[in-house]
Amino acid sequence: MTRAELAQAARNPLAFIAERWTPTDRTVRRAVLASLVMTVVIVVTGGAVRLTGSGLGCPTWPKCTDDSLTATHEMGFHGVVEFGNRMLTYVLCAAVGWAIIAVRSQKPWRRSLTRYGWAQFWLVMGNAVLGGIVVLVGLNPYTVAAHFLLSTALIAVATSMWQRTREGDAEPRPLVGKAVAQLVWVMVGVSVLLIAMGTVVTGAGPHAGDSSDVPRMNVGAVGLDWEGVTKLHAVLAWIVVTLTFALWFVLKAVDAPPGPLARTRDLFLILLAQGVIGYVQYFTDLPEALVAAHMLGSCLVWIGVLRVLLSLRERPTVAPGVPAPADPALSTV
C-alpha cells in the first residue's frame, strides 16, 4: 500500500474500503440483521445480570474495580457475569460497525442506510455510558428503566434499518388506507406504554439486581404497589392484543396485501406466547428463567409491532438510470 493510500485510509477509512469492496445485497442484509440480533442478545444478557444479582458484580465504572479493569478472582460469579455483559457491548459495537461498513460499501451508496447505522452506533455509546451511570448510582431503578428504554429505541432503529435493506429508495407507497394506518399507530403508541409500564413493574418488583438492599421505585416515601402496576401492565397488554386482533380482521375485510396480514398474524402469535409467559411467571412468584424469557418476548413483541408498521408501505427499487428521490434520514413509514 502506497503512502497516498495510507493517508486516504486514515482520512476516510469507510470510503477507502468502499472503493475496494462491493458486498452483495445478501451480505448487507445479513450484516444489518446481525446488529439487530446482537441488540436483542445484549438486552437479554443484561436481564440475566439483574436476575442473578450481579448488577454490582463490578462495583464501579468504567473499570470493574478501582484497581482493576477486569473482574478479579475474588469477585467470584457475580463479577464474571457483570464483566461478561460489559464485554458483549464490544461485540455489539463490532456488529454495528460491520453493518455500517457493509451499507457504506454497497453500490450504489444509500446514504439513508448509513445514517441508520450511525444512529445505532451513537445509541450504543449512549447506552454504555448510561449503563455506567446505573452502576455508579447503585442500580437506581429509574436509571435501570431508562437503560432498558434506550435499548428499545436501539431495537427500533435496527429493525427499521433491516427493513430498509430489503426495499428500494423510491418514495414510499401506502398499501392500506389512512384509517388502517391510524389504527396501527394507535397500536404502536399503546405498545410503547406497555413497554414503559413493564419497566415500572421491574423497578417495583423483587428482582433488584443485587443481593444488597437496592431501593425500589416509589412515590414519595411510599413504594409503588407492585400488584397494581402489574395489573395495569396486563391491561395494556390485552389492549395491544385486542388491537392486533381487530387489525387482522380489518385487513382481511379490505383485502389487504399479504405482507401486512402476515406481519399482523406473526405479532398476534408472539403476543399470545408472551401473555402465557407473563401470567405463568406472575402466578409462580417470578422465577428467574421465566422473567428472562419475558424480557426476550418483550423485544420480539416490539420488533413485531414495528414490522407491522413498516409493512403498511412499500418502496419499489428505482429503475437503473433514474435518480432516487431525496430520502429523509431515519424515516420509518
316 DSSP assignment: P
CA dihedral 314, 178, 305, 327 (to 10 degrees): 40
Predicted pLDDT of residue 142? 92
End-to-end CA distance of the chain: 44
Handedness of CA 60, 61, 66, 67 (dihedral sign): positive
Helix residue spans in the chain (DSSP H): 3-11, 13-20, 25-51, 76-105, 111-136, 141-164, 178-204, 226-253, 258-283, 288-310
What does the DSSP assignment read for 169-222? SSPPEESS-HHHHHHHHHHHHHHHHHHHHHHHHHHHSS--SBSS-----EETTE
* CA dist., res. 140 & res. 233, Å (int): 21
pLDDT by 10-residue block (mean), the chain, 333 residues:
73 84 94 96 92 89 89 88 93 96 92 94 95 92 93 97 90 91 96 94 83 73 75 94 95 91 96 93 87 93 97 75 42 37
**pLDDT at residue 1, as a whole number:** 67
**Domain 170-317 has what CATH class?**
mainly alpha
**Contact present, 91 and 39 (Cβ < 8 Å):** no
223 forms beta bridges with 218
Q: What is the pLDDT of residue 219?
A: 59
Going by C-beta distance under 8 Å and a sequence separation of 6 or more, which residues neighbour residue 194? 233, 236, 237, 239, 240, 301
Instruction: Give the count of beta carbons closer than 10 Å to the beta carbon of residue 162.
Output: 23
All structural domains of the chain with their residue ranges: 12-166, 170-317
Number of residues written out for the chain: 333
**Quick one: pLDDT at residue 14?**
86
> What's the Cα-to-Cα distance from 297 to each of 127, 151, 233, 302, rounded to whole Å?
21, 14, 14, 9
What 3-state class would DSSP assign to 313?
strand
User: CA-CA distance, 34 to 272, in Å (whole number)?
Assistant: 26
Rounded-to-integer distance, Cα 51 and Cα 209, Å:
6
Q: Is the full-model pTM beyond 0.85?
A: yes
User: CA distances (Å), 34 to each of 39, 41, 110, 161, 162, in order?
Assistant: 9, 10, 19, 12, 10
For residue 191, is it left (φ>0), alpha (ψ between -120 and 50) or beta? Answer: alpha
Cell of 78: 457475580
Which string of DSSP letters, residue by residue, matches 42-68? HHHHHHHHHHTTBTTSS-SSSSSSSS-
| pLDDT score of 2 | 76
The whole-number pLDDT of residue 124 equals: 96
Instruction: Compute CA 127 distance to the chain's CA centroid, rounded to the nearest angstrom.
Output: 11
